[in-house]
């Protein structure tokens, strides 16, 4: 089955700096890659996703890039703010698995003033 | 509550007892999922269901059981066979053709 690895496990940046979180996946059939943000004690919420027919997607301060050849995808957050502090999860799902997502182990992002 | 409701928010179980976690959605989503979240291990899939009266085991199904008698409901039973049930349990749903998940607010289960 699919295996998703996520790095780093913790990331501390100063307010205004950029943050990058990287994930690799194992199943070359995977074609959907969402990112979720989970604030302390709350449910994960979808922040951005990308499908395998595009290489990059942007939504204001966040962007996701996908390299299918290398089987990795990354989340980029620019101009970080304290409210970006949370745990971020990447995930992947493959064709024929009924949208069943495999998640990475999460990255705890802390944005300091 | 975002269209998907989990209850209770906190649950305490004595060893040897079965407990059932509730998950209800009013989003008309076809697929529903149960994940377990442990510190440092991300979200691991327990069971999932694509349609009513059908469900599949996920990666860590041992010690758990589910049912899907109605489209809106996907309860999870944590049986006494689950050796380490203390965790945060998340239910999610999605449209069959729309991969995005909507998560419930979770149930924190503690064995006492």
Q: Which residues of B touch A89 (CB under 8 A)?
A: 42-43
Residue pLDDT, tens place only, A49-68? 998 878 999 999 999 999 99
Residue pLDDT, tens place only, B27-64? 999 999 999 999 877 899 999 999 999 999 999 999 99
Residue pLDDT, tens place only, A12-32? 999 999 999 999 999 998 988
Chain B residue with CA closest to A92: the answer is B99
Closest residue by Cα to residue B21 from B37, B38, B33, B9: B9
* Phi and psi angles of residue B108, each rounded to the nearest 5 degrees, phi first: -95, 115
Please name the residues in contact with B69: beta carbons below 8 A apart, sequence gap of 6 or more. B52, B53
> Angle at CA A50, nearest 5°, toward A67 and A55?
35
**Are residues B45 and A32, on separate chains, in Cβ contact within 8 Å?**
no
For A22, the 3-state DSSP assignment is strand
> Angle at CA B7, nearest 5°, toward B4 and B11?
145
Chain B residue with CA closest to A106: the answer is B42
Give the whole-angstrom CA distance, residue B66 versus residue B33: 10
């Amino acid at each position: 089955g699919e295996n998703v690895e996520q790095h780093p496990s913790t990331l501390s940046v100063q307010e205004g700096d950029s943050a990058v979180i990287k994930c690799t996946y194992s199943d070359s059939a995977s074609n959907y890659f969402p990112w979720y943000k989970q604030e302390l004690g709350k449910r994960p919420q979808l922040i951005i996703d990308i499908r395998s027919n595009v290489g990059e997607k942007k939504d204001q301060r966040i962007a996701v890039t996908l390299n299918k050849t290398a089987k990795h995808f990354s989340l980029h957050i620019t101009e970080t703010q304290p409210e970006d502090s949370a745990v971020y999860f990447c995930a992947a799902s493959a064709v024929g698995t009924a949208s069943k997502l495999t998640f990475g182990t999460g990255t705890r992002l802390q944005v300091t003033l | 509550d975002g269209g998907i409701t989990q209850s209770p928010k906190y649950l305490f179980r004595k060893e040897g007892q079965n407990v059932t976690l509730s998950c209800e959605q009013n989003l008309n989503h076809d697929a529903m999922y149960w994940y377990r979240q442990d510190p440092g291990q991300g979200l691991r899939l327990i069971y999932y269901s694509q349609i009513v009266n059908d469900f599949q085991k996920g990666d860590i199904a041992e010690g758990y059981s589910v049912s899907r008698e109605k489209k809106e409901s996907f309860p999870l039973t944590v049986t006494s066979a689950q050796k380490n049930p203390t965790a945060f349990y998340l239910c999610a749903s999605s449209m069959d053709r729309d991969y995005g998940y909507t998560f419930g607010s979770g149930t924190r289960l503690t064995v006492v």
